[in-house]
Amino acid sequence: MVFPVNRAAGVVGAIMKSRLVNRLAIQNLLCHDESMMKNIAVFTSGGDAPGMNACIRAVARTAAYYGMEALGIIRGYEGMIENDFVSLPPREVAGILHLGGTLLKTARSKRFHTREGRDTAYAHLRARGVEGLVAIGGDGTFRGACDLTAECEIPVIGIPGTIDNDLEGTDFTIGYDTAINTVIEAVDRIRDTAESHNRLFIVEVMGKDAGLIALRSGIGSGAEAVLIPELPTDLEQVMERFEQGRKDKTSSIMIVAEGDQTGGALKAAERIERAYPHYDTRVSILGHIQRGGSPTCMDRVLASRLGVAAVEALRDGQHNVMAGVIHRDIAFTPLDQAVKHLRQPNPHFLHLLDVLST
C-alpha cells in the first residue's frame, strides 16, 4: 500500500514515538532494577588491532544505553595493577570509530602473570566498584582473564581483537580484515616493481604461530607460493615449481609468514640465493604497518557488533566467555576454549593456491 506523503509521515512519526516511549520505559526499568550491573570496565591488551577503538566506542555506548557506567583501563592489565582508569561516558568515545590503534593503549603485562600482580589488580577493580569486565585482545589477554576469574569473582567477556585471526570460537577477529587488505595493497605495489625487473620477491607478513594472514593475502594478491607455520615447508619443492614456470613468468611473489619453519623471509632468501643464483631476489618485510591504519568497514562492523554483544552478555549474567561471530551469528565460547590452539589451515584455501599459482 502507498500512503499519501503526509499520512505516511504521520504513521512513521507515531511508530517512532511509540518506540521511543518503549525504549525510555525499558531504560527506566533497567536503571531502577537494583540487581542490575551498574559499573563495567573495558580494556585492550596484547598487540593492538585496527577496530579496537570502534569496539571501545560500542562498549561505552552500550553501557550508557542500558544506564550503566563504563570505565576504561589504560594499558590493559598494567593499568589494572597501576590503578589507571578513565571514565568513558558516551561522548568521550566520539570521533574514534575510524581510528587505528587503541585509545586505551595496550601492553603485554609480565606482572599480571604473578599472583601478586593479579591480587593488586583485583583490589583496584573492587575499590572502583567494577562489576564486570570486557577484555579486548587475543590469546594472552584471554589467558590472563582465565587466571583472574579463577581467583576472584568478576565476570569477564572477551572480545577477539588481533590481526592474527588465530582464536577458536569466531570466524574473524577484529583487525584481521584490515591487516590482510594492508598486505594486499603492499603486495600489489611490490608486484609492479617485481614485474619491471623480472624479480622474485619474498614478502614476510605477520603470524608467529598462524599462517592465516599469509594464506588469505596470498590468494588475494595472486602469490606464486605461501609458506606458513602450520605446514612443513619444502623450499626445494617450491623452487622446482618456480623453475617450471620461469620461462613465461616475469615476476614471482612468495609470501612467508614470520613463524614459518624456514625462519622467515631473510632465511628463505639466503637459501634461495645460494641454490638458485639465477634469480634476482629481493626481500620485503611488511612488519608493523600491518597493525596500523584505519579499520575497514568489515572490522568496524564486527567490532561494533561484538562490543554491543559483550555488554549485553554481562547484563544477561554470562561470564568468562568470548563473544565471536560464527556463520554470521553472534556466538559465545568459554574463554579457556577460545585461546589459541593451532587451527589447521583451510584445505580449500590450500587447494585454491595450488590451482591458481601455476
Question: Which positions touch ligand F6P (CB under 6 A)?
Answer: 47, 138, 162-164, 206-208, 258, 291
Pick 64 or 302: Cβ nearer ligand F6P: 302
Pick 162 or 233: Cβ nearer ligand F6P: 162
Pick 202 or 214: Cβ nearer ligand F6P: 214
CA pair distance 184, 290, nearest whole angstrom: 10
Pick 165 or 221: Cβ nearer ligand F6P: 165
- Strands 321-326, 329-334: parallel, antiparallel or unpaired by DSSP? antiparallel
Of 158, 117, 118, nearest in space to 138 by CA: 158
State in angstroms the smallest separation of the CB of 140 from ligand F6P.
8
State in angstroms the smallest separation of the CB of 141 from ligand F6P.
10
Which grid cell sits at 207?
Answer: 603470524
State in angstroms the smallest separation of the CB of 203 from ligand F6P.
15
Provide the CA 358 distance to its chain's centre, in angstroms: 32
DSSP letter at 72 equals E
State in angstroms the smallest separation of the CB of 256 from ligand F6P.
13
Structural contact between residues 217 and 257, judged by C-beta atoms closer than 8 angstroms: no
Provide the CA 157 distance to its chain's centre, in angstroms: 15
DSSP letter at 229 equals T
Of 139, 164, 166, 260, the catalytic one is 164
Structural contact between residues 103 and 96, judged by C-beta atoms closer than 8 angstroms: yes
Question: Which residues, in sequence order, are CB contacts of 140 under 8 Å at separation 6+?
Answer: 45, 46, 108
State in angstroms the smallest separation of the CB of 165 from ligand F6P.
10
Pick 145 or 314: Cβ nearer ligand F6P: 145
Confirm whether 166 is a catalytic residue. no
Catalytic positions are 164
